[in-house]
Amino acid sequence: MKTVANAFFIAVLLPLLLFARTAVALTAIVGGTVVDLEGGVPLKDAVILVEGERITAVGSKDAVAIPEDASTVDATGQWIIPGLMNMHVHPGLILPGKMANELSDETDAALALRMAAAARGMLSAGVTTIRIPGDDRHADLALDRSIRKGESIGPRIFSAGESVIITGGHGSSPGVLYADGPDELVKAARQQISLGASWVKILISGGIATDGGDIAEALMTPEEINAVVDAAHRYGARVAAHSGSSAATTVAVDAGVDSIEHGYTLDKKVLQKMKSAGTWLVPTIVVSQPATAPFFERIGSPQWYLDRRDSVGQQHWEALRTAIAVGVNIGLGTDQLPQEPNDGTTATVREAEYYVEAGMTPLESLRSATIQTAKMLGEEDSLGSIAEGKYADLLFVDADPAQDISALRRIHFVMKGGAIYRDDHGLAP
């Protein structure tokens, strides 16, 4: 009898209960103008239907019927763009100086809570997807799971777990697990993937934030980089390489590394090589430029750090300008919290503005934070534009960012996965 009751529960009641729990909300966003990321004419007086987490229809008022039971968001006068995607974010990052002193004995629990608070702020800033190219103690992977379960509020996360660091290389610090030689590197990469990482992060040259290795040097051998890339790709994971160096990047591109982070001193030759191979560049230009000087003052950065930063600023800018001129694939990333205040806006928006100052059109810059980043992640079927079947991750601004990128300074409505996280003007019922 009990078995029959169980069978009845499983066959009949359980599906009903599940259905009730997931009964989908239906929202119609009406009257706004949808920016065309392909450079076409914007869609005026649009209707966007959102069912649950996804967009089910986008079209003109005449083409899309609004279901009677839909709740309506009035987007009259608004420009609608996809949620921004920031590809270089370390929510748990501790930089040298005052910040490092204050957080020197941060527990795992405190780290996770600090990261959860940061994640919430990212959504408010209009950033609905991030990639974490390495963070400490796997709090990133826990945060990702927590957000996906709906327990925490934050962007979609694609993460690398802990960075794979070679002895004496960039990222060296007490407590880091080092890996050297192809075998150890493959093992370290597989460990991160087995814990839930969809990317593997390696550091193939020196960097700004630690004094491990020269920024322009190639610290990892071709055999080491080849081994990591091969191991990651076999699992469907992608590889991000921190690199300031043309020599290191040349090796990385040959090995099939998916994205180069920072590229502080990349020359035209290696940028052309990246262009031919389709390798992505995530510039994080904002960290080496004047806009972030007050930030580094605020966190009490030591002089050696500021000197190291200043030493690459001009070359970093030239590398970005050349990358844009050559036509390298660029995915926006900041290496700061996406919402970090910079020049009266956020790091994410300031980064996008710098791309325009360095030679992109506003549309190209907007694409680098939306559809291009979605391609970099291999998620262009579900992210990066406003289209039927994709996640309903979208923002409202009061002007067209494809004409003036600084319109992104005035994001006032944020939807992620059909849920509204910011609505300054009370446009939703």
* Angle subtended at Cα 320 by Cα 314 and Cα 322, rounded to the nearest 5 degrees: 105
- 329-330, strands of its sheet edge to edge: 199-203, 238-243, 259-262, 280-282, 329-330
Q: How far is the CB of 335 from Zn ion (least distance, A)?
A: 4
Q: Residues 277-316 vs Zn ion: string with x where CB under 5 A?
A: ----------------------------------------
Q: Which two tokens stand for residue 245?
A: 């160096």
In this complex, which beta carbon is closest to Zn ion, that of residue 261 or of residue 353?
261
Q: How far is the CB of 230 from Zn ion (least distance, A)?
A: 24
Position with the least CB separation from Zn ion: 335
Q: How far is the CB of 207 from Zn ion (least distance, A)?
A: 8
Stretch that binds Zn ion, among 12-20, 122-130, 335-343, 392-400 (CB under 5 A): 335-343
In this complex, which beta carbon is closest to Zn ion, that of residue 335 or of residue 340?
335
Antiparallel, parallel or unpaired: β 84-86 and 127-132 = parallel
In this complex, which beta carbon is closest to Zn ion, that of residue 305 or of residue 421?
305
Stretch that binds Zn ion, among 69-77, 108-116, 150-158, 333-341 (CB under 5 A): 333-341
Q: How far is the CB of 357 from Zn ion (least distance, A)?
A: 22
Q: How far is the CB of 242 from Zn ion (least distance, A)?
A: 6
**CA nearest to 124, candidates 383, 424, 364, 384:** 424
According to DSSP, the residues that pair with 30 across neighbouring strands are 47, 74
Query: CA 222, CA 285: separation in Å to the nearest integer?
Result: 27
Whether 193 and 158 have beta carbons less than 8 Å apart is answered as no
The count of residues interacting with Zn ion (CB under 5 A) is 1
In this complex, which beta carbon is closest to Zn ion, that of residue 335 or of residue 351?
335
Q: How far is the CB of 15 from Zn ion (least distance, A)?
A: 45
Q: How far is the CB of 111 from Zn ion (least distance, A)?
A: 17
Q: How far is the CB of 259 from Zn ion (least distance, A)?
A: 12
Stretch that binds Zn ion, among 50-58, 64-72, 263-271, 327-335 (CB under 5 A): 327-335
Whether 35 and 400 have beta carbons less than 8 Å apart is answered as yes
Region for residue 335 given its phi and psi (left: phi exceeds 0; alpha: psi -120 to 50; beta: otherwise)? left
**CA nearest to 427, candidates 66, 29, 24:** 29
Stretch that binds Zn ion, among 226-234, 302-310, 330-338, 411-419 (CB under 5 A): 330-338
Q: Which two tokens stand for residue 235?
A: 């699992």
> Would you count residue 140 as binding Zn ion (CB under 5 A)?
no
Query: CA 122, CA 291: separation in Å to the nearest integer?
Result: 19
What is the DSSP annotation of 230-272?
A: HHHHHTT-EEEEEE--HHHHHHHHHHT-SEEEE-TT--HHHHH
In this complex, which beta carbon is closest to Zn ion, that of residue 78 or of residue 249?
249
> Would you count residue 335 as binding Zn ion (CB under 5 A)?
yes
In this complex, which beta carbon is closest to Zn ion, that of residue 136 or of residue 335?
335
Stretch that binds Zn ion, among 4-12, 52-60, 170-178, 328-336 (CB under 5 A): 328-336
In this complex, which beta carbon is closest to Zn ion, that of residue 224 or of residue 335?
335
Q: Residues 154-173 vs Zn ion: string with x where CB under 5 A?
A: --------------------
Q: How far is the CB of 62 from Zn ion (least distance, A)?
A: 47
Stretch that binds Zn ion, among 57-65, 98-106, 316-324, 331-339 (CB under 5 A): 331-339
Cα 110–chain centre separation: 23
Residue 206 to residues 197, 199, 210, 421, Cα–Cα distance (Å): 23, 20, 8, 39
Instruction: Work out the angle between the directed axes of helices 268-277 and 246-255 (0-180°, nearest 10).
Output: 20
According to DSSP, the residues that pair with 49 across neighbouring strands are 28, 57
| Chain positions contacting Zn ion, by CB under 5 A | 335
